[in-house]
């Protein structure tokens, strides 16, 4: 079975083709022709992970094979504003989606007629952007009379871990850290998601993006901060790990953002400052510590067998290292997707759709499927 997946929840236009484990080989045929003509594909990322079809120790089923996973970033469009401008994001998706879907099919060597299942992100995300992907996927599914599966973007981020590691043992505790969300999930079994805690204000990625914007460092802030913090002393600036008053598993990052702004003002830190690497390393480190501290509390409470870390901020080396350190101390298996599967991509949408469809074929949606902005 071949799935064509589309992801347009925020500022990446992405399409992927995946083959279900033990599925048929892709068929040749007429390539998909983008009806909107040629668009410039600056920033196109088309790495094709060809992820594992090999079961791990026979513990679990195999993962789907990623035949293509095309991601077109809109960073250049939003960079002048220091953050995503929703209306510009929607317009950009409209301009590029047909070409991105066409590119995903071409690189996979799959004709549109050979697609068995369509998958699309339903939410949460920017409503205008979501509607473009959703409408495009509905049109294809309707015309080709094939089932369509709507996928939750946050559940798909967690699925990115299973795509590369199908043998992860349950129960699983998942830490999802992206630009819009920071949350802890307990998964007792595949496709079950219990939300243990989430951010009460800013997401971790949002805090990084906002501080980078304030200092005029560029957008998106996370990767810029990581680069500039390299070699900095994470203990140079004092930050306290935030805790919610009721000791819940929720996160809060707005206090850290305020503390960072206070340091910036008090120490007169500017863009080209010699103390910038120390400051950014300290800020990045306290965010990683706050995330892993809540993970530790959650692990004590639910006693998982495995830990997973996902979402765009999971690309961060300091966070990955702190996560792995904790897992080692706790004696738990730990998994983080490879960097290209951490940030938004359609392969994770396709992988989750295949799993959902295999477990409940009747869950395929009709044309009433709607987008939702909030989790």
Map residue 353 onto helix, strand or coil.
Answer: helix
Nearest distance from C-beta of residue 340 to Zn ion, angstroms: 13
The CA angle 371-344-367, to the nearest 5 degrees, is 25
Q: Which does 221 bind (CB under 5 to 8 A by kind): ligand KG4, Zn ion, none?
A: ligand KG4
Q: Which does 208 bind (CB under 5 to 8 A by kind): ligand KG4, Zn ion, none?
A: ligand KG4
Binding site for ligand KG4 (CB under 6 A): 10, 178-180, 205, 208-209, 220-223, 226, 311-313, 315-316, 343-344
Pick 122 or 282: Cβ nearer Zn ion: 122
Pick 243 or 318: Cβ nearer ligand KG4: 318
CB distance 151 to 273 below 8 Å: no
The edge-to-edge listing of strands for the beta sheet with 333-335 is 194-198, 182-187, 172-177, 306-310, 333-335
Pick 15 or 20: Cβ nearer ligand KG4: 15
Nearest distance from C-beta of residue 16 to ligand KG4, angstroms: 15
Q: Which does 276 bind (CB under 5 to 8 A by kind): Zn ion, ligand KG4, none?
A: none
Pick 21 or 339: Cβ nearer Zn ion: 339
Q: Which does 222 bind (CB under 5 to 8 A by kind): ligand KG4, Zn ion, none?
A: ligand KG4
Supply the angle between the helices 276-302 and 254-267 in degrees, to the nearest 10.
160
The CA angle 279-284-285, to the nearest 5 degrees, is 95
Binding site for Zn ion (CB under 5 A): 178, 344
Pick 99 or 154: Cβ nearer ligand KG4: 154
Contacts of 287 by beta carbon, 8 Å cutoff, 6+ apart: 204, 207, 208, 253, 256, 313, 319
Q: Which does 199 bind (CB under 5 to 8 A by kind): Zn ion, ligand KG4, none?
A: none
Q: Which does 356 bind (CB under 5 to 8 A by kind): Zn ion, ligand KG4, none?
A: none
Pick 155 or 344: Cβ nearer Zn ion: 344
User: Which residues, listed in sequence order, are joined to residue 151 by a DSSP beta bridge?
Assistant: 121
Q: What is the number of other CB atoms lying within 10 angstroms of the CB of residue 34?
A: 18
Nearest distance from C-beta of residue 370 to ligand KG4, angstroms: 20
Nearest distance from C-beta of residue 316 to ligand KG4, angstroms: 3
Pick 224 or 364: Cβ nearer ligand KG4: 224
Nearest distance from C-beta of residue 145 to ligand KG4, angstroms: 32
Whole-Å CA distances, 49 to 46, 73, 140: 9, 18, 25
Whole-Å CA distances, 192 to 63, 72, 155, 171, 331: 18, 30, 9, 10, 24
Q: Which does 234 bind (CB under 5 to 8 A by kind): Zn ion, ligand KG4, none?
A: none
Q: What is the number of other CB atoms lying within 10 angstroms of the CB of residue 194?
A: 11
Nearest distance from C-beta of residue 367 to Zn ion, angstroms: 25
Instruction: Kindly provide the residue ranges of all beta strands, DSSP E only, lying in the chain, ordered along the sequence.
Output: 2-7, 12-19, 44-45, 65-73, 117-123, 148-152, 172-177, 182-187, 194-198, 306-310, 333-335
Nearest distance from C-beta of residue 311 to Zn ion, angstroms: 6
């Amino acid at each position: 079975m071949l799935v064509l997946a589309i992801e347009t929840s925020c500022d990446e236009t992405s399409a992927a083709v995946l083959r279900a484990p033990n599925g048929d080989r892709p068929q040749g045929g007429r390539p998909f022709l983008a009806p909107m003509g040629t668009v410039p594909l600056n920033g196109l990322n088309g790495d094709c992970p060809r992820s594992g079809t090999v079961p791990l120790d026979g513990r679990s089923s195999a993962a789907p094979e990623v035949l293509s996973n095309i991601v077109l970033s809109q960073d250049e469009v939003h960079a002048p504003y220091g953050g995503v401008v929703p209306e510009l994001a929607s317009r950009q998706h409209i301009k590029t989606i047909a070409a991105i879907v066409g590119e995903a099919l071409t690189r996979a060597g799959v004709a549109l007629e050979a697609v068995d299942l369509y998958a699309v992100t339903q939410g949460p995300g920017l409503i205008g952007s979501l509607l473009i992907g959703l409408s495009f996927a509905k049109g294809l599914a309707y015309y080709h009379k094939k089932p369509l599966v709507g996928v939750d973007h946050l559940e798909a981020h967690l699925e990115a871990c299973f795509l590369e590691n199908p043998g992860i043992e349950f129960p699983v505790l998942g830490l999802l850290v992206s630009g819009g969300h920071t949350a802890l999930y307990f998964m007792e079994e595949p496709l079950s998601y219990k939300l243990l805690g989430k951010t009460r204000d800013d997401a971790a990625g949002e805090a990084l993006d906002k501080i980078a914007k304030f200092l005029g460092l560029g957008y998106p802030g996370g990767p810029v901060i990581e680069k500039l913090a390299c070699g900095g002393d994470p203990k140079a600036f004092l930050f306290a790990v935030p805790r919610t008053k009721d000791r819940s598993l929720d996160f809060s990052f707005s206090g850290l953002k305020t503390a960072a702004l206070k340091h910036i003002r008090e120490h007169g830190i500017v863009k080209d400052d010699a103390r910038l690497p120390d400051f950014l390393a300290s800020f990045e480190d306290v965010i990683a510590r706050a995330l892993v501290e809540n993970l530790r509390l959650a692990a004590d409470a639910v006693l998982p067998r495995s830990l997973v870390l996902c979402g765009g901020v999971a690309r961060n080396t300091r966070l990955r290292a702190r996560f792995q350190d904790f897992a080692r101390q706790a004696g738990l298996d730990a998994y983080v997707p490879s960097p290209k599967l951490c940030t938004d991509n359609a392969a994770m949408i396709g992988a989750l759709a295949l799993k959902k469809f295999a477990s409940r074929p009747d869950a395929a949606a009709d044309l009433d499927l709607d987008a939702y902005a909030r989790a």
